[in-house]
Homo-oligomer: A and B are copies of this chain.
Amino acid sequence: MPTASNPRLEGRDLAAWKGMLRVHRELIGALGAGLERDYDLSLGEYEVLLNLADAPPDGLRMSEIAAELVVSRSGLTRLVDRLADRGFVTRARCPSDARGYFAQITAAGAERFAAARGAHLAEVRRRFHSQLDAGELDSLARIWDRLLAPAVAKSPK
């Protein structure tokens, strides 16, 4: 029972929190390493390609992708730079807003992504989904939903 003088996390509170940090790091580490090793893609690059592969043919605005990946705009600029240098995406000016760009996946990008997707998702399923039952997956979905809902309820400044 936490108090002002003993704010420590304990028992299930501790396990629920610390477990997420640990599981996330281990899974991300392992999945990223596999993707890098077998397909020469970082997890960030994979996620950009994933979003673009499912996007309308015009592609997606830079900011949309940044928001989806939860990375800074500058981070996304360089992520897309790297993908563009390798010929996996291209940028197209946005006709309705001259400040903006669409990022679009290229044939080469789609091909690389298609190659990586199967193995990556198999690994995600092996390490994550296959360890859990349907009820647990439902719980998780509900929990994430709950935690994301108040995402805008920022800390009091």
Contacts and interface: CB of A to CB of B under 8 A. Distances in A.
A118 B7 contact: yes
How many copies of the polypeptide does the oligomer hold? 2
A70 B25 contact: yes
Contact of A118 (B4, B22, B134, B142): B4
Nearest to A47: B21
> Could you tell me the dominant secondary structure of chain A's interface residues?
helix
A16 B125 CA distance: 11
A121 B8 contact: yes
A100 interface: no
Interface string A1-34: 0101001110011011111111111110110001
Interface in A105-147: 117-118, 121-129, 131-132, 134, 136-147
B146 A22 contact: no
A155 B121 contact: no
Contacts of A117: 7
Given A25-B70, A70-B26, A142-B136, A131 B118 contact: no
Contacts of A8: 121
Shortest Cβ-Cβ A-B pairs, 4 listed: A19-B144, A15-B141, A16-B140, A25-B70
11 contacts: A7-B121, A13-B125, A16-B140, A17-B129, A19-B145, A20-B144, A23-B148, A26-B148, A126-B155, A132-B147, A140-B143
